[in-house]
A and B are shown apart, each in its own frame.
Chain A
């Protein structure tokens, strides 16, 4: 393990169990609180929201979780299977703004649709995450965003939920997309929510868990600690809190739906910059916390997630190096789902240009994850003997057969010599990414929905909007 030794994980876990027994969690939702108490959790004196969770309850819940989580899509290759040790998937990230050169502006549904189409065209990105949509009322952004995603990509969809009602409408839309198949078989979308670190479950989070239970739908349990803010500044103490946070979520999800697939996500951990007060996402400490978080998840036998982002406000070298640093470190930690493609500015902004650059970062990380294949065919000793000192492998059939898999061809990075590069106008990385964006951003949606699905989704959206706005 890259970050923590087995014995160190055991110490952290042991301390987290003690925290759950002694401090417990505050549960802002009466039915779930009752469920916990009926299942062996204990009430605490003087605070009716507080529930103490004995370790037996945690252990039973961990036992109940499947060790594998399927993450599906509509591309027809069958679902990816997440388990500790599996190669990572890359998703975009939540955001409030769309970057526009050095400026940023509000993200409206038209931008979002174009962004989804761009992401659809990026080969190394596996999933699309919902963002804010400034042109819709806030409580509608989750289900309207989901419809826009479904219309523009077949990749995995991960809406960001604002209300439990939004999640219900999304479940209805999901059923239309699944065409009658159970949602858990090839889950083309998944859900998740964050605990309020430290140790408090909001009503919205628990309502979401509740309304989405019973379908075998993957649920990502996020602990989003901020070292030095909501947890001890020491990374070890932060992990104790984060592990306790997420374990309490495991207990609750499993009480609501035994065997529900969960992703154990300590990977939204931040550290507080003590000068600017910004919750950092691209610092090396984020890589340490999130990689260690994945190792703790693996210790529980669960898949994990993390975020790769940056504090840079534009697509620039800082953005590239911070995202590469954290993304690659996630590979060493065994993070299964890595969010943040396109994100800039501490996840507040999403940038099409950065998404194109991130696609290269994801591809490079996937190449490293694919590793060096060892076998008779790849060791190629026969060929080595045959060639002897001539060394001409370029013309061999073996090369033609294998080069595509061994040496991944990428178009975005500069890989030509100066003369050629100059003859092409000497574009730098950002300029090259800009031309990819110009080419792909305005593509038309390629029939990701049948006409029937499109109209059913629109009908659900209209219904939801009518509920929210009344009449109209």
Chain B
């Protein structure tokens, strides 16, 4: 049964997955369906993507199927009705309109079990700070594709310090001109070179 769920995730077949979850609910423990069926399946999807067997659109479809199937499980999950391992607030910094990389990272993070709040592009430092305050994310993700907008990331970190929020949130950054060294220089906690790495680093940041 779980093997079939994994298959449905690999195929991005939402209806098949929903049907399997519905049937499983009669016979099995809901938390086990979540862990063994959906989450393990998504982990296998992630692995297959890394190995070049699945492609980005496959992972996105799988993540959407997983979300739909989870909605069916949710009422049965009792006091912990979530599969999220953590929450990420993400956005492209002020002055920068590049969003494909950021969107990709968001989708892969969702696939990896994170709840993602996407603030969009051209995001002012104030909005990042407000979102950190209101959403209390585990991780703040920032993207910059221009050398002209990279300094904005340092500014946001500064603002978080000033507002006393820095210690509440891990900061992860990325984008074509951004590097590990730059991340260290501005005091970010992690740098992700691509979407798969972003998921690994995010998991490491929340201690998984």
A18 interface residue (CB < 8 Å to B): no
Among the 9-residue stretches A7-15, A271-279, A292-300, A352-360, the one with 4 or more Cβ atoms under 8 Å from chain B is A271-279
Interface residues of B in 88-137 (CB under 8 A from A): 97, 100-101, 104
What's the least CB distance linking B43 to chain A, in Å? 18
Q: Which of B56, B146, B149 contacts A274 (CB 8 A)?
A: B56
B207 interface residue (CB < 8 Å to A): no
Query: By the criterion CB–CB under 8 Å, are B56 and A162 in contact?
Result: no
A149 interface residue (CB < 8 Å to B): no
A275 and B58 alpha carbons, distance in the complex (Å): 10
What's the least CB distance linking A421 to chain B, in Å? 39
A141 and B176 alpha carbons, distance in the complex (Å): 18
Q: Which of A134, A202, A229, A276 contacts B147 (CB 8 A)?
A: A134
Most buried by A among B57, B148, B177: B148
Q: Which of B97, B100, B146, B149 contacts A226 (CB 8 A)?
A: B100
Query: By the criterion CB–CB under 8 Å, are B101 and A277 in contact?
Result: yes
B151 interface residue (CB < 8 Å to A): yes
A245 and B151 alpha carbons, distance in the complex (Å): 30
Q: Which of A196, A200, A277, A348 contacts B56 (CB 8 A)?
A: A277
A132 interface residue (CB < 8 Å to B): yes
What's the least CB distance linking A228 to chain B, in Å? 8
A138 interface residue (CB < 8 Å to B): yes
Query: By the criterion CB–CB under 8 Å, are B55 and A229 in contact?
Result: no
Query: By the criterion CB–CB under 8 Å, are B56 and A275 in contact?
Result: yes
Residues on the B chain within 8 Å of A141, using CB: 147-148
Query: By the criterion CB–CB under 8 Å, are A230 and B97 in contact?
Result: no
Q: Which of A96, A132, A196, A276 contacts B97 (CB 8 A)?
A: A196
Interface size band for A: 20 to 34
Query: By the criterion CB–CB under 8 Å, are B147 and A96 in contact?
Result: yes
B52 interface residue (CB < 8 Å to A): yes
B172-190: CB near A (< 8 Å → 1, else 0) gives: 0000110000000000000
A200 and B177 alpha carbons, distance in the complex (Å): 23
Residues on the A chain within 8 Å of B146, using CB: 138
A335-363: CB near B (< 8 Å → 1, else 0) gives: 00000000000001000000000000000
A126-163: CB near B (< 8 Å → 1, else 0) gives: 00000010100011010000000000000000000010
A418 and B162 alpha carbons, distance in the complex (Å): 69
B194 interface residue (CB < 8 Å to A): yes
Query: By the criterion CB–CB under 8 Å, are B97 and A162 in contact?
Result: no
What's the least CB distance linking B82 to chain A, in Å? 28
Query: By the criterion CB–CB under 8 Å, are B57 and A277 in contact?
Result: no
A274 and B196 alpha carbons, distance in the complex (Å): 12
Residues on the A chain within 8 Å of B100, using CB: 226, 229-230, 272, 279
Looking across the interface, which residue of chain A has its beta carbon closest to that of B149? Answer: A138
Looking across the interface, which residue of chain B has its beta carbon closest to that of A139? Answer: B148
Query: By the criterion CB–CB under 8 Å, are A132 and B55 in contact?
Result: no
A226 and B52 alpha carbons, distance in the complex (Å): 21
What's the least CB distance linking B4 to chain A, in Å? 26
What's the least CB distance linking B58 to chain A, in Å? 8
Residues on the B chain within 8 Å of A277, using CB: 56, 101, 104, 194-195
Q: Which of A200, A226, A274 contacts B55 (CB 8 A)?
A: A274
Residues on the A chain within 8 Å of B194, using CB: 276-277
**Knowing A132-B147, A139-B148, A348-B176 touch, does A202 contact B97 (C-beta < 8 A)?**
yes
Residues on the B chain within 8 Å of A274, using CB: 55-57
A272 and B100 alpha carbons, distance in the complex (Å): 10
B35-59: CB near A (< 8 Å → 1, else 0) gives: 0000000000000010010011100
Looking across the interface, which residue of chain A has its beta carbon closest to that of B59? Answer: A274
A202 and B149 alpha carbons, distance in the complex (Å): 15
A272 and B60 alpha carbons, distance in the complex (Å): 15
Interface residues of B in 154-172 (CB under 8 A from A): none
A141 and B49 alpha carbons, distance in the complex (Å): 39
A96 and B149 alpha carbons, distance in the complex (Å): 13
Interface residues of A in 227-265 (CB under 8 A from B): 228-230
A43-73: CB near B (< 8 Å → 1, else 0) gives: 0000000000000000000000000000000
Query: By the criterion CB–CB under 8 Å, are A275 and B52 in contact?
Result: yes
Residues on the A chain within 8 Å of B148, using CB: 138-139, 141, 162
Query: By the criterion CB–CB under 8 Å, are B52 and A348 in contact?
Result: no
**Knowing A277-B195, A348-B177 touch, does A138 contact B151 (C-beta < 8 A)?**
yes
A272 and B56 alpha carbons, distance in the complex (Å): 10
Residues on the A chain within 8 Å of B104, using CB: 277
Query: By the criterion CB–CB under 8 Å, are A275 and B55 in contact?
Result: yes
Residues on the B chain within 8 Å of A272, using CB: 56, 100
Residues on the B chain within 8 Å of A134, using CB: 147
What's the least CB distance linking B199 to chain A, in Å? 12
Query: By the criterion CB–CB under 8 Å, are A96 and B177 in contact?
Result: yes
Residues on the A chain within 8 Å of B97, using CB: 196, 200, 202
Query: By the criterion CB–CB under 8 Å, are A138 and B56 in contact?
Result: no
A277 and B197 alpha carbons, distance in the complex (Å): 12
Looking across the interface, which residue of chain B has its beta carbon closest to that of A202? Answer: B97
Residues on the A chain within 8 Å of B150, using CB: 138
Looking across the interface, which residue of chain A has its beta carbon closest to that of B194? Answer: A277
Q: Which of B52, B147, B176 contacts A138 (CB 8 A)?
A: B147
A367 and B147 alpha carbons, distance in the complex (Å): 38
A348 and B97 alpha carbons, distance in the complex (Å): 18
Contacts A134-B147, A141-B148 known; list 16 others, CB within 8 Å. Answer: A96-B147, A96-B177, A132-B177, A138-B149, A139-B148, A141-B147, A162-B148, A200-B97, A202-B97, A226-B100, A274-B55, A274-B57, A275-B52, A275-B56, A277-B56, A277-B194
26 A-B contacts (beta carbon < 8 Å): A96-B147, A96-B176, A96-B177, A132-B147, A132-B177, A138-B150, A138-B151, A139-B148, A141-B147, A141-B148, A196-B97, A200-B97, A202-B97, A228-B57, A230-B100, A274-B55, A274-B56, A274-B57, A275-B52, A275-B55, A277-B56, A277-B101, A277-B104, A279-B100, A348-B176, A348-B177
Q: Which 3 A-B pairs have the closest CB atoms?
A: A138-B148, A274-B55, A229-B100
